[in-house]
Chain A
Amino acid sequence: MLAPFQYLVETIYLGIIAIVIGFILLFYWITKKPPKRRIMHEDHLNGGGIEKGEKRWLYFLLTIAIIGNLLTLSPLIPSSQILLWQDVKPSKTVTIEIRSYEFILPEKPIVVRVGEPIEFIVISHDLTYGFGVFRKDGSMVFQMQVVPKPYENRITWIFNEPGLYDIRSTEYSGPKHPFMLVKDAILVVGGDMD
């Protein structure tokens, strides 16, 4: 039921935290025992600069931060590919309005084709809402916040899988928020459906 990208992120994350939990447990167990060799230098107490091991750790963290930024901003991430790297001209623009906790769609379902860039413009007439598109299994395709007028909230997306999708508000806007769900709001045709 997980979308492939979220599944990938979750797997990597769980792998890393398994290592972290294992490390802390091992650290606890080892540090209870006396050291096999006399404890090394205490350079860090002399008030001097950064110690060698700490410097290595700093370089490691810096490297991770640089790689992390480059990777997540690269076209390897599907959303980054669409939002940052592809200079796509939408072949269709759909304007959706929200007023008094209701999505007002130009048509239902909104019909788009697989692989076709579609621009959603969402305008709120009163509150801050969210605009999220979900698969039938509940997993999220994409989302954005909907800042109320005078702002327009735009996102261009390319659907890769045919089928029916639901729209749901992804931001709390008062106790009526959970009911802001439009089932089968988007129909993506093409691909396997052809």
Chain B
Amino acid sequence: MNESERKILALRFVVVALIFFALAGLEGILMRLRIMNLLTEIFTEEHYYAIMTAHPFVGIYGWAYMAVMGAFYFLVPYVLKKDIYSKRAAYVSFWLMTLGVFTVWATSFITHYAPLYTLYWPLPVAFELTGWSPLSAFTFGVGVATILAGVLVFFFNMFATIFLPARGNPKPETEVKATPWYVAKELIVTAFNLDKLRARIKGVPNYVEKVFNYPVFVVAVFRGCVDTTLNAFVIGGVGALLAVYGVSYLVSQSGLAASLVDPLIYKNVFWWGLDLIADGNVLIFTAGAWYLLVPLLLNRPLYGERVVRSVILADLVVSLLVWNHHMLADTPQPLILQIQGQIFTWGELITMGLTMFAILMTIWLARPVKYSAPLKFILASILGYAVGGLAGIIQANYSINRYFHNTQWVIGIHGHIQLIVGLSLTIFAAIYALFPMLTGKSLDEKLADMHLILMTAGGLIMGLSMGLAGASGMLRRTLYPEGLGPFEPYMVAAFLGAVMMAAGFAIFLLNVLRTVGLRNLIGIFMPPKNKG
């Protein structure tokens, strides 16, 4: 794959990701209206919860994952100065992701299948109680499994790109090692610094870990990919489980008994896997993007690079041990695990705090700074992570969780501010930074400023309004058909915030279309013309 092909591939991923972002945003606005008990004739409860089921899959896997994949398919070879390991796998991952997300969305849209992303057992297979058809569970499960298959193909391609010699000029001695086992071994040894441990046991003096062979951005990529690969096995496994149950009910009326799966053990495994997205994809990849972009934009080295590498490792280890903060309200869960979940979650304050410190110090040492659009977006995303992360730390305490669990606080201030003002602004920063490299053209800075202000202010207004409603007792995932009562002003403010974000995104689209034109944008999906 040459550089031009990688650019096209990255652009395809990003454009599809933006379409999914728009879809998730539209779903969000419709849900904001429905929660205010508007559009009740169009959107029944069944339809509302079907939208709510599709929304995070479209937003996380369709938008965030696909944008990250596109960026990494371009940036990892760019930074390592070598080609993507497999061109075919790159395209396979693109199609698996696109088709998987579309299947999940279409299933919810057409059949109103609505087990939500939480998929708490046995809800997804409670066909008699809910009236959902086994066929919808099957297609939904296949969609989920397809997405996560795409994720696994992508990560294998990334790991192989990082740890294997480039194809085309293999060295004889390394060619033999080019197996999945070799890649997995290199990954585990390097990601967890096990080579250093081995060197210590053997008493090797002055040993430098393998991780120092790689730029810090690449370290963040492969350490974050460890989390998200594990996540893919768990959530993909859940998708396969739904598909199997769906088939069992299609072929036999009694189907497989739901009691074959223990609901509490399932919930533990599910949250362990799902939370790895938050700490792998979100925190580590975000940190990696900041570590790459900020020095690049300021043309100076990253502050405290050695420390930063250790911070990423700490983040990886912490992320494997925090799932219990999702189970603080489950009284059958052992108390010791819940306290452990709380304590380790505070570890994220330390790792994220150190990450932000490194970035802010890098900017500080570069004074006077000429703020370009991507740098402004990064500064705003730091704000988003600080505001959303702090709310997360608060709700992840055993005793405080009793008042905040499953309220709008969790999904508003923590979830949406972190995902929109934190993660999405980081992705937009990367898009603004990579745009000239991928297209040879720059986006308008004034329109970018408007985009930033509307997204940041809108995201904060929406998230904070939802959060304050949550502190007042308003639940998430709950409609109030009897009337919103005291929560109504918060929901009106949240709607205004959502509209501001939509306006910001519309300005971004206008900026892109003005710069490259619709025809060129469509052109990236066309087969390349043969020269001569």
Q: Is the beta-carbon distance between A31 and B367 smaller than 8 angstroms? A: yes
Q: Is the beta-carbon distance between A171 and B399 smaller than 8 angstroms? A: no
Number of chain B residues whose Cβ lies closer than 8 Å to a Cβ of chain A: 89
6 pairs, A vs B, C-beta closer than 8 Å: A35-B367, A73-B339, A80-B398, A170-B329, A172-B49, A172-B116
Measured in the bound complex, the distance between the Cα atoms of B129 and A5 in whole Å is 38
A107 at interface (Cβ–Cβ under 8 A)? no
Number of chain A residues whose Cβ lies closer than 8 Å to a Cβ of chain B: 85
B305 at interface (Cβ–Cβ under 8 A)? yes
B196 at interface (Cβ–Cβ under 8 A)? no
Given A57-B354, A128-B263, A172-B478, does the pair A42, B382 have CB atoms closer than 8 Å? no
Q: Is the beta-carbon distance between B486 and A128 smaller than 8 angstroms? A: no
Q: Is the beta-carbon distance between A9 and B367 smaller than 8 angstroms? A: no
Interface string of A145-179 (1 = CB under 8 A from B): 10110011111000000000000101111111111
- Which of B48, B122, B350, B399 is packed against the most chain A CB atoms within 10 Å? B399
Partner of A13, one of B120, B379, B390, B473: B390
Q: Which residue of A lies closest to B48 (CB)?
A: A175
Residues on A with beta carbons closer than 8 Å to the beta carbon of B210: none
B386 at interface (Cβ–Cβ under 8 A)? yes
Q: Is the beta-carbon distance between B387 and A61 smaller than 8 angstroms? A: no
Partner of B473, one of A17, A44, A140, A148: A140
Q: Is the beta-carbon distance between A28 and B379 smaller than 8 angstroms? A: yes
Q: Is the beta-carbon distance between A47 and B306 smaller than 8 angstroms? A: yes
Q: Is the beta-carbon distance between B357 and A24 smaller than 8 angstroms? A: no
Interface string of B365-402 (1 = CB under 8 A from A): 11111110000100110110011001101100111101
Q: Is the beta-carbon distance between A139 and B472 smaller than 8 angstroms? A: yes
Residues on A with beta carbons closer than 8 Å to the beta carbon of B397: 68-69, 72-73, 77
The 7 closest A-B pairs by CB, nearest first: A80-B399, A72-B397, A172-B477, A65-B346, A77-B399, A178-B479, A79-B402
- Classify the interface of chain A: helix, strand, loop or mixed: mixed
A110 at interface (Cβ–Cβ under 8 A)? no
Measured in the bound complex, the distance between the Cα atoms of B486 and A51 in whole Å is 50
List chain B positions with a Cβ less than 8 A from chain A. Answer: 44-46, 48-49, 112, 114, 116, 118, 120-123, 126, 129-130, 263-264, 267, 301, 303-307, 327, 329-332, 339, 342-343, 346-347, 349-350, 353-354, 357-358, 360-361, 363-371, 376, 379-380, 382-383, 386-387, 390-391, 393-394, 397-400, 402-407, 413, 468, 471-475, 477-482, 485-487
Residues on A with beta carbons closer than 8 Å to the beta carbon of B367: 30-35, 39
Measured in the bound complex, the distance between the Cα atoms of B415 and A47 in whole Å is 36
A181 at interface (Cβ–Cβ under 8 A)? yes
- Which of B45, B123, B407, B468 is packed against the most chain A CB atoms within 10 Å? B123
Residues on B with beta carbons closer than 8 Å to the beta carbon of A21: 383, 387
Given A61-B353, A153-B331, A153-B332, does the pair A79, B403 have CB atoms closer than 8 Å? yes
